[in-house]
Amino acid sequence: MSEAVSALGGRVAEPRPGLAIRDMGLRGQITLKADLTEPAVATAVETVAHVPLPSKLSAAFAEDGRGAVWMAADEMLIFVPKAEVSAALEALEAALADLHHMALDVSDARAVLRLSGRPVAEVLAKGAPVDLRASAFPVGRARRTHLAGLAVGLWRRGEDDWDIVCFRSYAHHLFDWLVRVGGEGAAVDHPPMGSEA
């Protein structure tokens, strides 16, 4: 077998104390396009992702990292262990055989970054126009938006834990940008974004 590597090779950074940026490495990702209102879709997604089908603008994750993210009215991004992508695709094909759908392995098309720490929302606000206030972006919310001029998917896993996906070919730019604007001297200290949120 040839050696598989992620876009950023597991890069990590701590641009300021309390702010961690991590390449999540190779993660099994499946894009599923189908009519999400079909009950069969909800069942199929739950079977492979181990979480109930997320509602509009939401993400849901199980303890083991499986999960699903709502990407569009007809699109779900499903996370499974990398080694299980083929099995998951087969399971989806079997469950949705009678339904017009498309399920593709996009594990290598996208890089996944995890941001942790109090300042994350503030750092994201330096490049994303989306409303990041806790009232508008609670834990479990997922949005597709722009960050640092790139198209990204963004979801809030916990109060101070966020995941970002972007196309693999842009991952180095996104990582470098996060490190640059996340520096301590650049703290905005704007309460609606920061810890009081």
Partner 1 sequence: MGFRLENGGRLIDRDEALGFRFNGQELRGHPGDTLASALMANGRRLVGRSFKYHRPRGILASGAEEPNALVGLGSGARFEPNQRATTTELFDGLEAKSQNHWPSLERDVGALNAAVAGVAPVFSAGFYYKTFLAPRVAWKHLFEPIIRQAAGLGQAPTEPDPDTYEHFHTHTDVLVIGGGPAGLMAARRAAEAGAQVLLIEQTPHFGGRALVEDETKIDGMSAPDWAARETAALAAMPSVTMRARTMGAGLYDHGYAMLYERVADHRPDAPDAPRHRLWRVRAGQVIVATGAIERPLTCANNDLPGVMLASAVRDYLRLYGVCPGERFVIVANNDDAYRTAIALQAAGAVVRAVLDVRSAATGALADQVRALQIPVLEGHGVAKIRGGKDVEAVETVRLAANGTRAGGGEALYVDSVALSGGWSPVVHLYSHCGGKLLWDDKALMFRPAPERGAPIGPDGGVNTRCCGASNGAMATGACLADAARAGAEAVAAMGLTAPDAALPAVDEPAEQPIEPHWFTPSRDKYAHGTKHFVDFQNDVTAADVRLAAREGYESVEHTKRYTTLGMATDQGKTSNINGLALLAEALDKPIPEVGTTTFRPPYTPISMGAIAGSAKGPLFKAIRQTPMHAWHAEHGADFEPVGDWFRPYCYLRPGEDRYAAVTREVLNARQRVGVLDASTLGKIVVQGPDAPKFLDLIYTNTMSSLKVGRCRYGLMCTENGFLFDDGVVVRTGPDSYLCHTTSGGADRVAAHLEEWLQTEWWDFAVHTANVTDQWVQIAVAGPEARALLTAASTDIDLSAAALPFMSYVEGHIAGAPVRLFRISFSGELAFEIATPASHGPALWQALLSAGQPMGVMPYGTEALHVMRAEKGFIMIGDETDGTVTPQDLGLHWAVSKKKTDFIGKRAQERIDLTRPDRKQLVGLFTTEPRQVLPDGAHAVVETRERGKPMTTIGHVTSTYFSPTLNRSIAMALIEGGAGRMGEELKFPLEDGSIMRATVVDPVFYDKEGARNV
Contacts with partner 1 by CB under 8 A: the residue count is 55
Q: Quick check: 39 binds partner 1 (CB under 8 A)?
A: no
**Which residue, chain included where needed, has tokens 């396009």?**
33
CB atoms closer than 10 angstroms to residue 108: 13
Whichever of 52 and 133 has its CB closer to partner 1, that residue is: 133
| CA neighbor of 111 nearest in space, from 65, 151, 166 | 166
Q: Quick check: 190 binds partner 1 (CB under 8 A)?
A: yes
Q: Quick check: 191 binds partner 1 (CB under 8 A)?
A: yes
Interface with partner 1 in residues 81-110 (CB under 8 A): 100-102, 104-110
Q: Quick check: 41 binds partner 1 (CB under 8 A)?
A: no
Which 3 state secondary structure label does DSSP give 82?
helix
Q: Which long-range contacts (CB under 8 A, 24 or more apart) does 97-103 make?
A: 98/40, 99/34, 99/35, 99/38, 99/40, 99/41, 100/34, 100/35, 101/32, 101/33, 101/34, 101/35, 101/41, 102/31, 102/32, 102/33, 102/34, 103/30, 103/31, 103/32, 103/33
From candidates 38, 127, 139, 159, binder to partner 1 by CB under 8 A? 127
For the CB of residue 61, give the shortest distance to partner 1 in the complex, in Å. Answer: 22
From candidates 12, 87, 94, 188, binder to partner 1 by CB under 8 A? 188
- The binding site for partner 1 (CB under 8 A) comprises 1-7, 26, 31, 33, 74, 100-102, 104-110, 125-133, 136, 148-150, 167-170, 172-174, 176-177, 180-181, 183-186, 188, 190-193, 196
